[in-house]
Structure 1
Amino acid sequence: MFLNDQETATDLLYYEAIAKTVVTLIRKTPDAPVTIGVHGDWGAGKSSVLKMLEGAFAEDDRVLCLWFNGWTFEGFEDAKTVVIETIVDELRRARPTSTKVADAAKKVLKRVDWLKLARKAGGFAFTATTGIPTFDQVKGLYDVATSFLAKPQDHVSIEDLKGVAEKAGEFLKEAPDESDNLPEHIHAFREEFKELLDAADIDQLVVIVDDLDRCLPKTAIATLEAIRLFLFVERTAFVIGADELMIEYAVREHFPDLPPSSGPVSYARNYLEKLIQVPFRIPALGVAETRVYVTLLLAENALGSKDPRFLNLLASAREDMRRPWKSRGLDRRTVEQAMAGKMPPDVDQALVISAHVTKILSEGTRGNPRQIKRFLNSMMLRHAIAEERGFGADIQRPVLAKIMLAERFYPDFYEQIARLAANHPDGQPEALRRFEEHVRAPAPEEDDDEKPAAKGGRKAARSAPAPLPAEAMEWEKNEWAKGWAAIDPPLTGVDLRPYVFVTRDKRSSLGGLAAASHLEGLVEKLMGPTMMVRGAVGEIAKLTGPEPEEVFEAIRGRILQDDNFAAKPKGADGLVRLVEAHPALQRRLLEFIRELPVAKVGSWAASSWGACFTDTGIAAEYQTTLRSWAEQTENSILQKAAQGISKLQRG
């Protein structure tokens, strides 16, 4: 049994509090229209919150709650009309026997037909605010369509234009006197929709819009523009689940001629804030919350979601998460009490694993629940494979989790360990043993440098420790590797060959795991010439979740593998564009720069990165690296370049 990656049926993160707050807000403003945003990164749990919200209205006959998934309608010719038609159709289904609802729905759908009419024209402008064609636009459409029918062009479908002309002709016959007045169109649409709500006899219409951040910019903007038509219709509430950054990107892509912002907030952000009146942001999990989440996931997997012991544990976890800043995670005593004093082995192991992997997993996934769940799923799948192959007893989950942490967050480090383990007769690399001992050794006391001999009065000099193996010396320079070596369980004396075997997936350039073809294609573009890299900016911006890190690691690995740094290597410009679009990668870029062999790099290394570091702390660390290059004497070309850059910055 593995962990379902869909919207969770069990609220392990106490997101119910967010859902209840949204429900309360909607119920306390029954007459006023409201648009609410549920924001969060990819995999943060937005859809789970929206499902809880939908469930809260399920038993209320006076509230009609509709679910609209924008991604489902990706590729439709006009997502805007799809949104409106879906809402109207759902209202008709809710009251299937009502002639009032049917008549009111027809009136609204007739106005929707105008949208389709203008879309058919292919080049007739919509108004910027609503997308509804004016009377003059439709009249022009009718004239053009009839003229094309008289003299058809090779690239125009006669059937399409005939249908357009008929539709336009019908509209012109029925058009009221004020049809050329755009505000009247807007007012009429909203009034007709109010009549539809009255006919349906409901107190509120709640429309949940999910997965909007997965859509292409065209679909996302069309959906948002449709929602704008309802902004002043009483008794309507829209709840939009989306990552704000992706929606801002969609706005910039759809409106490329927007002027640069003259204030602290971009036009793209202003667009979103005017549309969404009340934003809720789902916070990333902290270290303690990650530990609770991992424990609950594994305990639910072991016991089942209906087991009284698990329900007791879930209740304790919720109480703990009421004040997460005070939480230390679920400790053994709390879990034992929930288990009624008898700890099942799988739950005991869940506690061990959560204690071991929490810190690095929290930092590596940045508190993202979906990435945490996928890590655990992968771990359980690999353990199951080992059991099916007959060596499950050789695999301990805490050790497997530690190995997988290296594989997931520092693939080059993992590759070295795997290679050393495979080449050692007992699968116990000496370099890893020495590295762990070095990291875990207690710091010497300040007055312990010299100790007196037993009888002589002379002081015996403290013996210098043996130098570390070359691999361990490189690992010692990396803070992540040292943190990894310090966590339990230690791997000294463990035969790592079974673990290497069970984590041996199909290799690719992306961090060691089989990767999606679109990421492989993007890596190739970012490894290409400057013009190709610039052309990939749009694809870079669409990366979500762990994808930016995977692409970064793929490019980084290929650059270091080439081992040619006199001239700027292919991929360096790609890293710059990637970090500019995803500033969270700044730390990784700094680590990459520090990995460059000082003796081999050319002047390009000193002048290629400065604009990437917008974080003041990381920028300061980069300046320290630049100063060290300016002071070293091993590489005069790099030295002069670094000195020149430093001088320019001071000037």
Structure 2
Amino acid sequence: MWRDSESEQDFLNFTEVADQIATLATTPSLLPISIGVFGTWGTGKSTVLKLVEARLPAPRDGDAAAVVVRFDAWMYQGFDDARAALMEVVATELLALAEEKKTLVEKAKEFAGRVNYFRGLGMIADFGVGMALGIPPGLLTRAGAAVSSALAGGLTEEQYGTAKEDAAEARKGLGELIKPAEKRTPPKEIVAFREEFGSLLEGLETTLVVFVDNLDRCLPDVAIGTLEAIRLFLFMPQTAFVIAADEDMIRHSVAKHFDDPNASHVRDYLDKVIQVPMRVPRVGAEDLRAYMYSLFVGLAAPDRLPAVQERLLSALQEGWRNETFEKAEIAGLAGNPPDLLDNLAIADRLAPMMASAPKIQGNPRIVKRLLNAVSLRRTLAAKRQMNVDFATLAKLAIFERCTDGPATLALFQLIMDGKDVEKVLLPGGKDKAKPSPLPKEWEPHADFVEEWRKLDPPFENAERLRPAVFLSRDVMAPARARSDISEAARTAIDALLKIDGIASPVGKRIVAGLTPDDKRAVMSGLVATMREADWTSAVPGLYGALMIAEALPETKTELKAFIGSLNTGEMTKGIQFLLRKTGMLETK
């Protein structure tokens, strides 16, 4: 499986856009500059930022060619004022550089100290009713009851005394926070802050490159506060801001913040803050193929991954010349580890559909999560000694991702029932001139299903598909724990494990006395017991499970999936006969 986070390696040919951003951010004649890296969730914005950072000039002879500041806006949400947080992160980085170079240390400290003033302004906006009553917000946890009582007209003498003490403490704390050496006003402080900032950057002879990430995950006020800090305080010579965000989400935040989605300044706000918009490249089938190749090689032969990536990126960058790569070539570069060639062949089959499927559309994060889910099911299959191939699990997972719950349940039910599976699941059915009608649950997804049916491997044998469906059900919806079942169900399980025939009168009475919920619970309990049984002899619980399935047809799905996961060659002839007679095994 693969780690679900941004990568410092280029798996998708983002190198070219990263090179462009790095060039823009370090060209003196273009500074100051703000660059937007736009894309929806999971498309690779954070990875682009990592690649850009790796391309910035490295320190030379103790002098930093570019100072990099990383600011995750989401991290500070709810804990700090967005403007002050960004300013402090920048100020701290510049102070560290000044101390390292042993120059301008006092100026850097003075600059950093001004952040306290602006943080104080942010607090003052929150004082409101609390300060009017003498109760600061930092102490409202202790004095909340006093505020409520005062507003209701029922403040006691004791509560009033507590509130006054807290107010005195808060005023003292606020004085320490702002520490005014002289009378200050916001306009004067803004001018002074900008002057000191510019002077400090000039004196340190450095370019400041600030990466702002996860802005689109923030609440509207936090997102706008961060953008305002960039525009008002930090957009100075020798600075570059690279802002990764979902463009539509930020525009939504602007509309919510100004409470006027139709105003022209709302529509144009982001365009004014972001000078150079760059969009994460759309991932096509060939890009996605290279991405999955890299993932599989990274697992099978991590030491060979750099050489493989060099070849894959070269092919993608020369794609306009019809340059490509082949699975045998890449497997050879990786040293031909076991199973790699087969996995690369699966990537070849999956890439075109994953690049175009409506709920995937080549999104790298979605593709990685889907492959992780398939890998988890494959691991589960191996532990249960079930012969289920990766391609079959992947095809089922794509269907689950790109349709919905009712459509997926209809697919599982079709496979469990085993009737005319090939007529529905093969492209156009057996009769090419007369396509098979789709289940009604599939009709909203008809275009997708038509393409999905063409995907290898072909689904034409229900018995072979049942173990894969059973695994999908296990991963998506684990069975209820035995300890949660009723006493009646627990007693029934113990009794049905002991009956010796499918026509047992005792068994019939037990089953007849169960509610539908208890029947479902009993079936799960019997299947769990039979999972550990030796199928080369009589199997306790089998007769009881067959009786439950007959009494409540919907439980047949669980039993049939379990039976389909077993090796029929290890069953006695009598058990095979019974299972075929009851429809749990296909008749040869």
Instruction: Check whether TM > 0.5.
Output: yes
In 2, Cα distance between equivalents of 1:87 and 1:163 = 27
Alpha-carbon shift at residue 499 of structure 1 (Å): 0.3
Alpha-carbon shift at residue 146 of structure 1 (Å): 12
* Distance change >3 Å, CA 31–CA 277, structure 1 → 2: closer
Match of 1:225 among 210, 224, 228: 228
Alpha-carbon shift at residue 223 of structure 1 (Å): 1.4
* 8 A Cα contact 2:37 2:243, kept in partner: yes
Match of 1:415 among 401, 409, 420: 409
Match of 1:187 among 181, 186, 191: 191
The equivalent residue for 1:315 is 310
In 2, Cα distance between equivalents of 1:66 and 1:259 = 33
The equivalent residue for 1:291 is 289
Q: Secondary structure at the match of 1:301?
A: helix
In 1, Cα distance between equivalents of 2:223 and 2:169 = 26
Match of 1:75 among 60, 68, 78: 78
2:363 corresponds to 1:368 = yes
The equivalent residue for 1:162 is 171
Match of 1:482 among 445, 450, 466: 450
In 2, Cα distance between equivalents of 1:14 and 1:68 = 25
Q: Which amino acid aligns with 1:70?
A: A
Q: Which amino acid aligns with 2:262?
A: P
* 8 A Cα contact 1:207 1:237, kept in partner: yes
Q: Which amino acid aligns with 1:174?
A: E
The equivalent residue for 1:378 is 373
Match of 2:104 among 75, 92, 101: 101
Rg (Cα) greater in structure: 2
The equivalent residue for 2:2 is 3
2:29 corresponds to 1:36 = no
Q: Which amino acid aligns with 1:415?
A: L
How many residue pairs match? The answer is: 449
* 8 A Cα contact 1:476 1:482, kept in partner: no
Deviations 1:62-84 (A, max 9, x none): 32111111121111241211111
The equivalent residue for 1:605 is none
The equivalent residue for 2:570 is none
Q: Secondary structure at the match of 2:211?
A: strand
* 8 A Cα contact 1:289 1:324, kept in partner: no
The equivalent residue for 1:57 is 56
The equivalent residue for 2:201 is 197
In 1, Cα distance between equivalents of 2:244 and 2:315 = 27
Deviations 1:209-249 (A, max 9, x none): 11111122222122111111345421111111111111112
In 2, Cα distance between equivalents of 1:248 and 1:124 = 30
In 1, Cα distance between equivalents of 2:136 and 2:451 = 74
Q: Which amino acid aligns with 2:13?
A: Y
Alpha-carbon shift at residue 379 of structure 1 (Å): 0.9
In 1, Cα distance between equivalents of 2:445 and 2:53 = 51
TM-score (structure 1 length as normaliser): 0.62
In 2, Cα distance between equivalents of 1:322 and 1:491 = 36
In 2, Cα distance between equivalents of 1:36 and 1:432 = 53
The equivalent residue for 2:250 is 247
* 8 A Cα contact 1:321 1:327, kept in partner: no
Deviations 1:324-382 (A, max 9, x none): 5666864345436645xx74442211222112222322223112110011111111121
Deviations 1:435-477 (A, max 9, x none): 2456265856xxxxxxxxxxxxxxxxxxxx7x95884996698
The equivalent residue for 2:389 is 396
In 2, Cα distance between equivalents of 1:301 and 1:350 = 11
Q: Secondary structure at the match of 2:36?
A: strand
* Distance change >3 Å, CA 146–CA 361, structure 1 → 2: closer
Deviations 1:274-332 (A, max 9, x none): 1111111002211222222222222222221x21xx44432232122115566686434
Q: Which amino acid aligns with 2:340?
A: V
In 2, Cα distance between equivalents of 1:203 and 1:19 = 21
Q: Secondary structure at the match of 2:420?
A: helix
* 8 A Cα contact 1:142 1:168, kept in partner: no
Q: Secondary structure at the match of 1:209?
A: strand
* Distance change >3 Å, CA 271–CA 154, structure 1 → 2: farther
Q: Secondary structure at the match of 1:260?
A: coil
Alpha-carbon shift at residue 142 of structure 1 (Å): 11
Q: Secondary structure at the match of 1:41?
A: coil
In 1, Cα distance between equivalents of 2:441 and 2:112 = 71
The equivalent residue for 2:561 is none
Q: Secondary structure at the match of 1:496?
A: helix
In 1, Cα distance between equivalents of 2:170 and 2:106 = 29
In 2, Cα distance between equivalents of 1:159 and 1:98 = 42
* Distance change >3 Å, CA 477–CA 105, structure 1 → 2: closer
Q: Secondary structure at the match of 1:285?
A: coil
Extract unaligned runs of 5+ from structure 1.
Answer: 126-140, 424-428, 445-464, 514-651
- Once the two structures are superposed, the pairs formed by residues 437-448 of structure 1 within 5 Å of their partners are 437=426, 439=428
Alpha-carbon shift at residue 12 of structure 1 (Å): 1.0
* 8 A Cα contact 2:35 2:277, kept in partner: yes
* Distance change >3 Å, CA 333–CA 470, structure 1 → 2: closer
* Distance change >3 Å, CA 326–CA 196, structure 1 → 2: same
Q: Which amino acid aligns with 2:47?
A: S
Match of 2:398 among 405, 422, 426: 405
The equivalent residue for 1:434 is 423
The alignment's C-alpha RMSD in Å is 3.7
2:361 corresponds to 1:351 = no
* 8 A Cα contact 1:295 1:330, kept in partner: no
In 2, Cα distance between equivalents of 1:312 and 1:53 = 21
In 2, Cα distance between equivalents of 1:169 and 1:383 = 60
Deviations 1:533-582 (A, max 9, x none): xxxxxxxxxxxxxxxxxxxxxxxxxxxxxxxxxxxxxxxxxxxxxxxxxx
Q: Which amino acid aligns with 1:419?
A: Q
Match of 2:273 among 272, 275, 288: 275
Q: Secondary structure at the match of 1:122?
A: helix
Alpha-carbon shift at residue 153 of structure 1 (Å): 9.2
Q: Secondary structure at the match of 1:491?
A: coil
Alpha-carbon shift at residue 17 of structure 1 (Å): 1.6
Q: Which amino acid aligns with 1:422?
A: M
Identity score, percent: 30
In 2, Cα distance between equivalents of 1:470 and 1:234 = 63
* Distance change >3 Å, CA 430–CA 146, structure 1 → 2: closer
Q: Secondary structure at the match of 1:64?
A: strand
* Distance change >3 Å, CA 223–CA 414, structure 1 → 2: same
TM-score (structure 2 length as normaliser): 0.68
* Distance change >3 Å, CA 356–CA 170, structure 1 → 2: closer
Alpha-carbon shift at residue 30 of structure 1 (Å): 6.0
Extract unaligned runs of 5+ from structure 2.
Answer: 138-158, 480-588
The equivalent residue for 2:17 is 18
In 2, Cα distance between equivalents of 1:492 and 1:43 = 34
Deviations 1:68-102 (A, max 9, x none): 11121111241211111111111122233667533
Alpha-carbon shift at residue 202 of structure 1 (Å): 3.2
* Distance change >3 Å, CA 362–CA 168, structure 1 → 2: closer
Deviations 1:471-505 (A, max 9, x none): 49966982222221122111213511210121114
| Richer in helix (by share) | 2
The equivalent residue for 1:558 is none
Q: Secondary structure at the match of 1:240?
A: strand
In 2, Cα distance between equivalents of 1:359 and 1:153 = 72
* Distance change >3 Å, CA 499–CA 477, structure 1 → 2: closer
* Distance change >3 Å, CA 90–CA 294, structure 1 → 2: same
Alpha-carbon shift at residue 431 of structure 1 (Å): 2.8
